[in-house]
């Protein structure tokens, strides 16, 4: 194996696949990055058994030749040392495989020898039937993940809730996440004849959104019994699915509400953000919402050590009984509001200690549900 590659392209690829590698991983070969050189390009692979990231460096990129492959082959090189070496080089990089799985790395006057592993010992990619896939635009996939993944459970007591439930049905992708105290749901229209439901670890989806930031165009989604794969033109992520059944949480959504108000989304985000400054001392980050006479919503919080804050924002619309007095986890509320892109947001209240439903005013594809918390005086 021998090739010459643009330094920046190689460094970016190493950084991408490095997200899948753990220094504590066993066997030791998984602390390395597999590099495969062929006539079509350079393939880099990183894995910790649960997440696998594959990055391709093509021969040309943006009309510029960034890779010359002189001899095909493969090797596994220790990820940390390889990244550190490449980062400290400045010119194009020449890599040649020697005997005993070592490589010589040259850049200008700098020459480095690095010991590696036999690439045949590296685990194979999970088998996924690539003839059946779901096609989705990268931007839409990133958006629906960001609108839901933050609501997963951080506890390991219920493994299914540590992931996002992705369901394909009737030309629709539905993502749902919950930690039992809050829920986020979002839908994306797409063309697919494939149906099914599976639970994807939140860590994998967070990595996916980072990887797709620079990937425009189409993403293909492949599903097997144990894995799901996301593949774009130059990068792929495969992740092991979470076993178990996801609860049918959408059945728990409130069917009616006593009071519904419409607020300016951006102003409400800023108001709740300010209130969170004093809510941190409360066990549940309590932010209080009180409906005042004259179409005003009071947002407040207090801290016995730091002080208190309150502000009144104008309500843009109201329907129902007109009585609201509820305490919510301010950060849960902030997370939900920040992923709503519309100018106006609708909050529906069912009464004391009933969950609050949060939705975009003109959209039916996204919703959030937050359970109230007891105020310190309760």
Q: For 351-374, how does the pLDDT look when each residue is reduced to its tens digit (9 = 90+)?
A: 878 999 999 998 779 999 999 998
Query: What integer pLDDT is reported at residue 25 of this predicted model?
Result: 61
What is the band of 40 on the pLDDT scale with cuts at 50, 70, 90? Answer: very high
Check if the beta carbon of residue 249 is closer than 8 Å to that of residue 183.
yes
Q: Is the pLDDT of residue 378 over 50?
A: no
CB neighbours of residue 216 within 10 Å = 11
pTM for the whole thing? Answer: 0.92
Tokens of 38: 């062929």
Query: What integer pLDDT is reported at residue 305 of this predicted model?
Result: 83
Q: For 291-350, how does the pLDDT look when each residue is reduced to its tens digit (9 = 90+)?
A: 998 789 999 999 888 899 999 999 999 998 878 999 999 999 999 999 999 999 999 999
Nearest alpha carbon to residue 349 among 374, 328, 331: 328
Nearest alpha carbon to residue 218 among 205, 233, 207: 233
Q: For 172-194, how does the pLDDT look when each residue is reduced to its tens digit (9 = 90+)?
A: 999 999 999 999 999 999 988 77
Q: Which residues of 93-130 are buried (b: 16+ CB within 10 A; e: fewer)?
A: bbbbbeeebebebbbeeeebebebbebeebeeebebee
Percent helix, percent strand, percent coil in the chain, to nearest 5: 25, 45, 35
Nearest alpha carbon to residue 30 among 45, 9, 10: 45
Tokens of 306: 């730091």
Query: What integer pLDDT is reported at residue 304 of this predicted model?
Result: 81
Q: For 192-215, how does the pLDDT look when each residue is reduced to its tens digit (9 = 90+)?
A: 877 899 999 999 999 999 999 877
- Higher pLDDT: 101 or 127? It is 101
Phi, psi of 83 (to 5 degrees): -65, -45
Phi-psi map region of 100: left, alpha, beta (phi>0 left; psi -120 to 50 alpha): left
Phi, psi of 330 (to 5 degrees): -60, -35
* Domains along the sequence of the chain with CATH: 2-121 (3.10.150.10), 134-250 (3.10.150.10), 253-370 (3.70.10.10)
Q: For 109-138, how does the pLDDT look when each residue is reduced to its tens digit (9 = 90+)?
A: 999 999 999 999 998 888 777 778 889 999
């Amino acid at each position: 194996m021998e090739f010459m590659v643009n330094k920046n392209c190689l460094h970016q690829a190493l950084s991408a696949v490095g997200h899948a590698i753990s220094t504590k991983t066993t066997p030791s070969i998984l602390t390395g990055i597999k590099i495969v050189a062929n006539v079509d390009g350079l393939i880099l692979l990183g894995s910790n058994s649960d997440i696998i990231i594959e990055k391709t460096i093509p021969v040309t990129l943006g009309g510029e030749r960034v890779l010359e492959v002189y001899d095909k082959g493969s090797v596994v090189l220790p990820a940390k040392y390889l990244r550190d070496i490449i980062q400290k080089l400045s010119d194009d990089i020449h890599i040649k495989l020697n005997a005993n799985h070592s490589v010589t790395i040259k850049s200008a006057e700098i020459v480095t020898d690095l010991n590696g592993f036999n690439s045949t010992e590296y685990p194979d990619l999970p088998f996924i039937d690539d003839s059946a896939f779901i096609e989705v635009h990268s931007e839409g996939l990133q958006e629906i993940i960001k609108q839901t993944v933050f609501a997963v459970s951080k506890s390991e007591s219920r493994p299914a809730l540590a992931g996002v439930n992705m369901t394909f049905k009737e030309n629709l992708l539905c993502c749902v996440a919950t930690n039992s105290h809050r829920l986020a749901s979002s839908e994306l229209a797409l063309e697919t004849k494939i149906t099914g439901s599976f639970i994807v670890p939140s860590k994998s989806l967070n990595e996916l959104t980072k990887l797709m930031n620079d990937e425009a165009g189409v993403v293909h989604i492949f599903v097997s019994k144990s894995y799901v794969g996301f593949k774009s033109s130059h990068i792929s992520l495969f992740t092991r699915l979470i076993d178990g059944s996801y609860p049918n949480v959408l059945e728990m959504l409130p069917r009616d509400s006593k009071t519904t108000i419409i607020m300016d989304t951006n102003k409400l985000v800023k108001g709740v953000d300010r209130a969170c400054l004093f809510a941190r001392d409360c066990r549940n980050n309590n932010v209080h919402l009180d409906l005042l006479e004259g179409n005003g919503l009071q947002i407040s919080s207090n801290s016995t050590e730091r002080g208190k804050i309150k502000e009144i924002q104008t309500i843009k619309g109201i329907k129902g009984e007109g009585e609201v007095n509820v305490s919510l986890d301010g950060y849960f509320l902030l997370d939900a509001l920040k992923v709503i892109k519309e100018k106006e947001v609708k909050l529906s209240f069912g009464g004391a200690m009933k969950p609050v439903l949060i939705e975009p005013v003109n959209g039916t594809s996204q919703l959030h549900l937050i359970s109230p918390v007891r105020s310190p005086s309760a």
